[in-house]
Amino acid sequence: MQASDLDPAVRRDLLSLDKSNAETVARHMVMAVELLEDDPRLALAHARAARQRAGRIAVVRETAGVVAYHAGEWAEALSELRTARRMSGGSGLLAVMADCERGLGRPERAIELGRSEEAQALTGDEATELRIVVAGARMDLGQFDQAVVTLQASDLNPARTGSAAARLFYAYADALVAAGRTDEGLQWFLNAAAADEDGETDAEERASELTGGDAQ
């Protein structure tokens, strides 16, 4: 992997480092991203190495946080993402932070994040992802009806397709089933399966389970 493989915008953030260190940090970050799906623990080792060399750069701390999240290191991920937000002032990745709170067994804090001013400013897929996490936190607490309500918004449109729509429909179906509304849940699992163009979810299998293998 070469430093040039790193996104140009991220490479610009490394310009404050001396050239040799910037090259090394960039390579570690490229490897962290490349390994994230197949070997999150090794990806985390690269992200940590980048952080050790460039801990004062927000994008490095954010990358370390995201990689730690994928490796299941909730506390580390939350710490890194909080640091990155203090450094950059952004409100992105709020859904990841909320999910870390869930991973740490603190669903109430995830819900609090969902109520924050920063959360209200989110739009599009970022807002949807946070709603999915908050709904999950409600389910952690056994608040199934509230989880259903949390997910009800204008983007809950069965005509939509793509990854974000599939995840939203799946979460809604899951909440409906948990709330005892099985027939509605089945329909939304089918909607999720139809929207899931890349096969990211097991919506089709969940639908089949609910119908005894006869989902259409």
Q: What is the pLDDT along the chain (216 residues), one digit of tens a residue?
A: 566 678 788 888 998 999 999 999 999 999 999 999 999 999 999 999 999 999 999 999 999 999 999 999 999 999 999 999 988 877 668 999 999 999 999 999 999 999 999 899 898 999 999 999 999 999 999 999 999 999 999 999 999 999 999 999 999 999 999 999 999 999 999 999 999 999 999 999 999 999 886 655
* Distance set, CA 57 to CA 16, 76, 192 (Å): 9, 17, 39
Name every residue whose Cβ is closer than 8 Å to that of residue 195 and which is 6 or more positions away in sequence. Answer: 158, 160, 161, 162, 165, 166, 169
- E strands, 78-176, are none
Distances (CA, A) of 178 to 58, 143, 174, 213: 39, 9, 6, 20
Residues 6 or more apart whose Cβ sits within 8 Å of residue 82:
97
Rg (CA), the chain: 19
Query: What amino acid is encoded at 115 in this protein?
Result: R
Residue 164: predicted pLDDT? 93
Alpha-carbon distance values, 80 to 42, 62, 172, 189 (Å): 18, 6, 30, 35
Asked if 60 and 29 touch (Cβ cutoff 8 Å), the reply is yes
pLDDT for the residue 9: 83
pLDDT for 88: 82
C-alpha 121: how far from chain center: 17
Q: Residue 92: its pLDDT value, please?
A: 66
* Amino acid 42: pLDDT: 97
pLDDT computed for residue 91 by the predictor: 66
For the record, the structure tokens of 129 come out as 């992802």
Count of Cβ atoms closer than 10 Å to residue 127 Cβ: 18
* Residue 133: alpha-carbon gap to chain centroid: 8
CB 179 within 8 A of CB 149: no
